[in-house]
Structure 1
Amino acid sequence: MFITRVTARKFKAICNYIAGWVIVMVGASALGMFAFGSFSIDRLFFILQLSMFVGLSHGIYDVVVLQDEMDHRSVSAALLIRSFYFVANISINYALCILIWDMESESGRLITAHGLSLIVEAFSSPKCHATIALMFLLAHMFTFLNTVHKKFGTRVFVNTILGKYQDPVEEDLIFMFIDLRHSTELAEELGHVKYSSFMKDYYKLLSNCCAENRGDIYQIAGDGAFLTWKTSSCKKKARPINCFYDFAVCLERTRPRFLKKYGVTPTFKAGAHCGKVISTEVGNFGSEMAYHGDVLNTTSRIQSLCTKLGKDFLISEDLYIKLPLPLPHEYFCHKEGFFELRGKKKEILIFSIHTP
């Protein structure tokens, strides 16, 4: 059975919620039991089951119900609704776990008078209140971490948490600069309010395609965006090519929706290059990731040749020799020649990527 990258991404996200809940809850419970000398394997398995159910419910709410997006309601309303959901989620799953454990000692029925009495007894216990309060705080913490993770991307988020970028680090990265065609005309035609909504929908699709191909969006500047991958992660899979193809297909599939909502559809062009850059955090308060090196400027200059050559996707020779062949989706490379890019002393060999 074929599973789309969108489905795989959502499934992986839900699994991450479950894994996070299990690791934190079981670890905290085991540590607490060890500290107070009250270790109980049954209690530990109960917490394991509870954390799996809560993690599953939390993941489904964020990934499926909210479509893995930011909550569009006001902060106060979103916080109130989410808090109510967390309390209901934890309480219902706590009661469900009690009923499941009670099934073994009863007639095998899920709901019995004995099971209901255990629920009433459990919810009257200070230990249950403390567990629900702890899980409530953990739920908000997981939501916060997920928001930060979406902001920075997986690779940057993990390495920032580990403190990798506190000092400058040299990395070999691939950059792809994607630019919206006819952005000035679109802005004039739609007006600034509608154009802002148009760009939001456009970048939502781009970020999904980037995430599904294990890339990170480094920077969005107006109508252009820099996407990045580690070069080592693209030696067996041409992830930038896959991302370009997926984004083109995605825009084609959503074309009717854009036409209905805005009367126009987005088209784009892209340039890609690779090389060594210095990765580091800049700033103190409100710091952000920065990549220093000539690679980004070269990528932007390559993309600017698309209009001149009448092509949608151009790459440098440096990237061409590092991509696995044959290219996916029946793409092939065509040598366009050597070009002198602004700010470069030497000419660069440029390849176009397209279908037959």
Structure 2
Amino acid sequence: MHLRPKIKFQLFLVLGITLFWITSGAFMAFYKCVNYIPGKDEFEFIVPNQLSFSAFLLINIIGPAVGGFIGGSILVFKLSDQLRGKSYWNYMLVNFLFFLGFILILNTLVPYIFYYRDEIAAADEPLKTAIDLLLLSPYAIRNVITWLIIAWFTIQGLKIYEKYAPTTIIAMLLGRFHRPHEVDRIFMFLDLSYSTSIAEKLGHIRFFSLLKDFFGDMTDPILNSQGEIYQYVGDEIVISWASRKSVIEGLQPIKCFYRIEKSIQERRDYYLQNYDLVPVFKAAIHKGPVVVGEMGAIKREIVYSGDILNTTSRLMEQCSVFNQKLIISNEILEGIPIERRKDYCLKHLGELALRGKSSKCHLYGVNQLTN
């Protein structure tokens, strides 16, 4: 079964959350077994509820595994998308209430099933005993508070994870950006057209809201095209891909542009209602070697540097000159098999002289053919 890149990205997040919760549950199992004995002035390893440690560890993993998978799925597939446009405190409040309810259910069911079922059933007042043991006991309260802290780290980790692509985070953890090195990348520079006049019409606050909606509506098309958001520069967004054969031959950067266009058109009524306009944009795609590494001492960033970035920016400027929505370079075109070009009209626009170089870059306008 073929999964869209966005779904793979989300499943990767759910898997990460689940593993984090399982690890936290295992750590808590060890922690609960370490007890300080004041009379002996030493620590002893005592497994609660007269269980073997393996059984106790398994019980403490089952709940987090179920909770991490179900809770993580709801958080990633539902809450994150629905709350993306909300304020930070709204986002945090909804997530807090969701995890509070979810954790209370798990911390009630798991102890009841594995620890207190017989004791509650044999009590004179089963309901009161259940509330005392499962909700009001120091053990239960400590458990809920601990898992709320873990949930908070989960939410914050998710926000950090969304800032970088999965491959970027893994590379950072492995130290691959510690020293600068050369890589081959594809870049798309995409710019909102008529931004100056739009900003004057809407004012700074509404124009910022427009950009936020505009860039937000690109998220799914970019993920579904295997792209990574490199940076936002004013009314411009820079998208990047690894120069893999499958990416170029699959026309993912070009498809990304038209998926973004489709996404904006599907929200046409929203933009007209809120801003009295529908965003129009232009873009350029180019590829080549760049140097990548961490930059800065305080606010460290992953930075790409090279002539390719400057050239791509200049290619985008030619969109206005040649009245084109999308321009690609000959480096991109050469990687696309002849048979894969049939869905697009490719028009040679001329050459662009590159600063400080004798070679020139050939420009091609791209238009999607309608069936």
TM-score norm. by structure 2 comes to 0.80
Q: How far 1:48 sits from its partner (Å)?
A: 3.3
Query: Does residue 67 of the first structure (1) align with residue 81 of the second (2)?
Result: yes
Q: 1: CA distance between counterparts of 2:274 and 2:293?
A: 40
Corresponding position of 1:16: 15
Letter in 1 for 2:23: V
CA contact (8 A) 1:313 1:352 kept: yes
Q: Which has the higher mean CA deviation after the structures are superposed, 225-234 or 324-333?
A: 324-333
2:205 to 190, 193, 202: 193
Q: What pairs with 1:248-259 in structure 2 (closer than 5 Å)? A: 248-259=261-272
Q: How far 1:335 sits from its partner (Å)?
A: 3.0
Query: Does residue 293 of the first structure (1) align with residue 292 of the second (2)?
Result: no
CA contact (8 A) 1:179 1:225 kept: yes
TM-score norm. by structure 1 comes to 0.83
Q: 2: CA distance between counterparts of 1:73 and 1:257?
A: 19
Q: Which has the higher mean CA deviation after the structures are superposed, 294-303 or 227-236?
A: 227-236
Q: 2: CA distance between counterparts of 1:322 and 1:20?
A: 39
CA contact (8 A) 1:154 1:216 kept: no
1:54 to 67, 70, 74: 67
Q: What pairs with 1:197-346 in structure 2 (closer than 5 Å)? A: 197-232=209-244, 234-235=247-248, 237-323=250-336, 326-327=339-340, 330-341=343-354, 344-346=357-359
CA contact (8 A) 2:295 2:301 kept: yes
Q: 1: CA distance between counterparts of 2:186 and 2:78?
A: 31
Corresponding position of 1:161: 173
Q: Which has the higher mean CA deviation after the structures are superposed, 57-66 or 266-275?
A: 57-66
Local SS of the residue matching 1:265? coil
Q: How far 1:116 sits from its partner (Å)?
A: 8.7
| Cα separation, partners in 2 of 1:238 and 1:128, compared to 1, 3 Å | farther
Give the share of equivalent positions with the same residue, in percent. Answer: 24
Q: Which has the higher mean CA deviation after the structures are superposed, 272-281 or 58-67?
A: 58-67
- Flag structure 1 segments of 5+ consecutive residues without an equivalent: 106-112
After superposition, the C-alpha distances for 1:3-50 in whole angstroms (9 at most, x for unaligned) are 8776x3685266335533444235435765898475544433433331
Q: Give aligned pairs, total.
A: 348
Letter in 2 for 1:64: K
Letter in 1 for 2:106: N
| Cα separation, partners in 2 of 1:214 and 1:104, compared to 1, 3 Å | farther
Q: 2: CA distance between counterparts of 1:10 and 1:315?
A: 27
| Cα separation, partners in 2 of 1:322 and 1:104, compared to 1, 3 Å | farther
Q: 2: CA distance between counterparts of 1:324 and 1:208?
A: 26
Q: 2: CA distance between counterparts of 1:51 and 1:273?
A: 46
Q: Which has the higher mean CA deviation after the structures are superposed, 260-269 or 209-218?
A: 209-218
Q: 1: CA distance between counterparts of 2:3 and 2:115?
A: 37
Q: What pairs with 1:22-41 in structure 2 (closer than 5 Å)? A: 22-28=21-27, 36=45, 38=47, 40-41=53-54
Q: Which has the larger radius of gyration?
A: 2
Q: 1: CA distance between counterparts of 2:366 and 2:144?
A: 55
Letter in 1 for 2:207: Y
Local SS of the residue matching 1:134? helix
Letter in 2 for 1:289: I
After superposition, the C-alpha distances for 1:229-266 in whole angstroms (9 at most, x for unaligned) are 11126145332122112101101101111011111000
Q: Which has the higher mean CA deviation after the structures are superposed, 289-298 or 24-33?
A: 24-33
Local SS of the residue matching 1:166? coil
Local SS of the residue matching 1:353? strand
Q: 1: CA distance between counterparts of 2:339 and 2:33?
A: 56
Local SS of the residue matching 1:165? coil
CA contact (8 A) 1:98 1:115 kept: no
| Cα separation, partners in 2 of 1:334 and 1:89, compared to 1, 3 Å | same
| Cα separation, partners in 2 of 1:123 and 1:170, compared to 1, 3 Å | same
After superposition, the C-alpha distances for 1:312-337 in whole angstroms (9 at most, x for unaligned) are 11111112223456448923533333
After superposition, the C-alpha distances for 1:330-349 in whole angstroms (9 at most, x for unaligned) are 23533333332455532112
Q: How far 1:193 sits from its partner (Å)?
A: 1.7
Q: 2: CA distance between counterparts of 1:258 and 1:248?
A: 13
| Cα separation, partners in 2 of 1:330 and 1:263, compared to 1, 3 Å | same
Q: 1: CA distance between counterparts of 2:13 and 2:163?
A: 18
| Cα separation, partners in 2 of 1:227 and 1:333, compared to 1, 3 Å | same
Q: How far 1:208 sits from its partner (Å)?
A: 3.1
Q: 2: CA distance between counterparts of 1:52 and 1:324?
A: 46
Q: 1: CA distance between counterparts of 2:59 and 2:155?
A: 24
| Cα separation, partners in 2 of 1:24 and 1:119, compared to 1, 3 Å | farther
Corresponding position of 2:38: none
Local SS of the residue matching 2:232? strand
| Cα separation, partners in 2 of 1:209 and 1:78, compared to 1, 3 Å | closer
Corresponding position of 1:110: none
- Flag structure 2 segments of 5+ consecutive residues without an equivalent: 35-44, 119-124
